[in-house]
């Protein structure tokens, strides 16, 4: 993505048009939905437009989704950057559109361990990406850093699709993994790591293994405990990408897809102290929990 107008197509049939950066002017109507961080910060606001939706990430980027023409127009904010807008498109807008069209994206990271994709779900800043990167730095291939694309097959099993081979971390996490700090820090303060940094990425889709829901970090040690399907469903729905919360039929259908997922896959609550020093132990516990299929 660049400042120049460009188009690219994704498999959902939407094309992306990138506009030059601009100030985010006040929008004409009140948002019908908002994403709020656990700290009360507005991450995104959702407005209706004549042709679809405007998803605004304050001081970062605007995305106008035109349902009729199937075009997503992206305008990075003056205070934002095209790179950050590209990340928002991949990690938020594509999952929102996918789920709006009967897809199944979950907010989380995914890593291949012994032939299966294991996904880590939790709120922002819970450590999903750091954990996935720690596993990928030990040659467990990363499938997704922030939005997991699940595909249900005819036999009822799931595959996890690959996403772009990058992982974005805050400097402390990146420094912990690599031992030294790379210089490619983005405008959002995160550092972008790729294959050259020793991170392993998956090249093909991988069968889904287990779902780990990240706890709040209150456990004094690494703890992995089974989670029933009902608890798993309620947790997973907290991390769904829903474009139109007022569209009852789509919301109903998405809940049912999530229920099928929760019923089909083993879920676990994973909690551990949020201390970089314990990460190798966390990685070992997860790998031991995901042995090769016999």
Give the residues lining the site for another protein (CB under 8 A).
228-234, 237, 245, 248, 251-252, 255-256, 259, 262-263
Q: How far is the CB of 127 from another protein (least distance, A)?
A: 23
Q: Enumerate the H helices of the chain as residue ranges.
A: 82-88, 94-100, 128-136, 171-178, 229-238, 248-264, 279-289
Q: How far is the CB of 235 from another protein (least distance, A)?
A: 9
CA separation, residue 10 to residues 175, 206, 282 (Å): 33, 20, 35
Residue 105 or 254 with smaller CB distance to another protein: 254
Burial class (CB within 10 angstroms; exposed 0-12, middle 13-18, buried 19+) of 193: buried
Q: Is residue 75 within 8 Å of residue 59, measured between CB atoms?
A: no
Residue 116 or 259 with smaller CB distance to another protein: 259
Residue 245 burial (CB count, 10 A): 12
Residue 21 or 231 with smaller CB distance to another protein: 231
Q: What's the alpha-carbon Rg for the chain, to the nearest Å?
A: 19
Q: How far is the CB of 6 from another protein (least distance, A)?
A: 36
Residue 284 burial (CB count, 10 A): 12
Residue 71 or 237 with smaller CB distance to another protein: 237
Q: How far is the CB of 258 from another protein (least distance, A)?
A: 9
Residue 178 or 237 with smaller CB distance to another protein: 237
Q: How far is the CB of 152 from another protein (least distance, A)?
A: 15
């Amino acid at each position: 993505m660049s400042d120049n107008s460009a188009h690219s197509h994704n498999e959902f049939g939407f094309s992306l048009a990138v506009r030059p950066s601009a100030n985010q002017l006040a929008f004409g109507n009140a948002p019908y939905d908002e994403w709020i961080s656990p700290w009360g910060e507005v991450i995104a606001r959702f407005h209706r437009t004549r042709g679809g939706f405007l998803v605004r990430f304050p001081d970062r980027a605007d995305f106008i989704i035109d349902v009729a023409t199937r075009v997503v127009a992206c305008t990075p904010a003056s205070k934002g950057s095209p790179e950050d807008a590209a990340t928002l498109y991949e990690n938020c807008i594509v999952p929102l559109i996918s789920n709006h069209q009967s897809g199944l994206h979950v907010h989380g990271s995914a890593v291949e361990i012994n032939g299966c994709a294991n996904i880590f779900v939790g709120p922002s800043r819970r450590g999903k990406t750091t954990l996935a990167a720690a596993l990928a730095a030990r040659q467990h291939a990363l499938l997704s850093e922030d939005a997991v694309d699940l595909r249900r097959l005819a036999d009822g099993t799931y595959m996890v699709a690959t996403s772009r081979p990058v992982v974005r971390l805050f400097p402390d996490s990146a420094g912990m993994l690599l031992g030294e700090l790379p210089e490619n820090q983005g405008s959002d303060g995160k550092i972008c790591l790729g294959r050259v940094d020793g991170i392993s990425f998956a090249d093909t889709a991988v069968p889904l293994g287990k779902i780990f829901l990240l706890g709040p970090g209150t456990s004094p040690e690494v703890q992995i405990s089974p989670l029933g399907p009902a608890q798993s469903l309620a947790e997973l729905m907290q991390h769904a990408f829903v474009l139109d919360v007022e569209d009852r039929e789509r919301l109903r259908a998405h809940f049912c897809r999530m229920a099928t997922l929760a019923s089909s896959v083993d879920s676990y609550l994973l909690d551990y102290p949020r201390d970089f020093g314990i990460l190798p132990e966390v990685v070992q516990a997860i790998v031991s929990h995901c042995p090769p299929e016999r």
